[in-house]
Amino acid sequence: MTADTVRICRLHARNDLRVETEPATAPGPGQIQVAIGAGGICGSDMHYYQEGGIGTIRVREPIILGHEAAGHVAALGEGVGGPAVGTLVAVNPSHPCGDCRFCREGLPNQCLNMTFLGSAMYLPHAQGLFRDRVNVGAAQCVPVPGNVTLAEAACAEPLAVCLHAARIAGELAGRRVLVTGAGPIGALCTAAAAEAGAAEIVVTDLQDAPLDVARRMGAHRTINVARDPGALDPWKAEKGQFDVVFECSAAAPAIAQAIDCLRPRGRLVQVGMGGPTSLPLNVLVGKEIALLGTFRFDAEFAEAVEMIGTRRIDVRPVVTGTWPLEDAAEAFEAAADRSRSVKVQLRFGE
């Protein structure tokens, strides 16, 4: 990288990830240039890399990946009064239009004209944040309070997803909560439930390493359901014991087991996203289970930044590996190995 170029992490096709350079540009009016310091590899990035898409969303042109990132303000565009150069900011990848039907109804995460950085949902694709420097709208840069690391600040986006899921779930104080799937989102849903005062939090997964992280994030009990498939049976008694499930795996067996463990009129918050999935509708209907989808976030991004900066939620246990940008392909391979990784991040800068 020189003063005239920036390095980028671009996906050209399935399993074709390249670190390239492109010309640097100055921030335009209303923009801030951020020198990215850390960026997390998300499940959607992994799906794009390994499968060429997510469900019906396909990568149809080269795309710069990444939507979980933080860095320091490098320059201010015309008309931008702050934050000051050098300020640590988390970059909000979400940019709703503000004018469509759903924005006007107070549902900006459902915006019909959404620009979400690093997303292949629309064509042309919205280029992402895995680059040394990026110019974004000033409103998308949220100053991080306190004295936390770049790695922590880069967890704001996934934590915002989980805070939105917790809001969808409703009251959690004193509730019994099950989290299925202990990847980054499962671990942060665990933290969100613990911060909200859940009385009991049980987390399941197929691997021990993410369950170890879940315990550090507030789980009262963790269960490796591959090794002990009957361990949830006590919570299935008397039509189910849990008030809320955060289903973070999108795996049909986990969803079915979650419904078995929910008490009548419990809430199944579906956080994990995948393709068509079978559901035990007879049990869902018979127990009057509320099935609730949750998608991205809105005001929760700023809340996540505040919680990270003050360490009301300590995200440090979630970050299990950091790789330099030039080793991006190796980082993606590490992120795919759930026996040793939860959140893998790329490190930027020289």
CATH of residue 174's domain is 3.40.50.720
Q: How many domains does the chain have?
A: 2
**Of the candidates 158, 119, 156, 165, which has an alpha carbon nearest to the alpha carbon of residue 271?**
165
pLDDT at 350 over 80: no
Q: Pairing relation of β-strands 221-224 and 242-247?
A: unpaired
Strand, helix or coil for residue 302: helix
pLDDT for the residue numbered 275: 79
Strand, helix or coil for residue 74: strand
CATH of residue 326's domain is 3.90.180.10
Q: Maximum distance among all alpha carbons in the chain?
A: 66
**Quick check: 208 and 340 in contact, CB under 8 A?**
no
The domain containing residue 103 runs over which residues?
Answer: 5-155+315-347
Q: What share of the chain is helix, strand, coil (3-state, %, to 5)?
A: 30, 30, 40
310 part of a folded domain: no
300 part of a folded domain: no
309 part of a folded domain: no
**Of the candidates 100, 121, 120, which has an alpha carbon nearest to the alpha carbon of residue 112?**
100
121 part of a folded domain: yes
- Same domain? For 163 and 148 the reply is no
Tens digit of each residue's pLDDT (9 = 90 or more) over 82-107: 999 999 999 999 999 999 999 999 99
- Same domain? For 149 and 170 the reply is no
- Same domain? For 187 and 52 the reply is no
301 part of a folded domain: no
Kindly write down the DSSP assignment for every residue of 128-139, as one continuous string. Answer: -S-BSEEEEEGG
304 part of a folded domain: no
76 part of a folded domain: yes
pLDDT at 143 over 60: yes
pTM across the whole model: 0.96
- Same domain? For 165 and 149 the reply is no
307 part of a folded domain: no
pLDDT at 321 over 90: yes
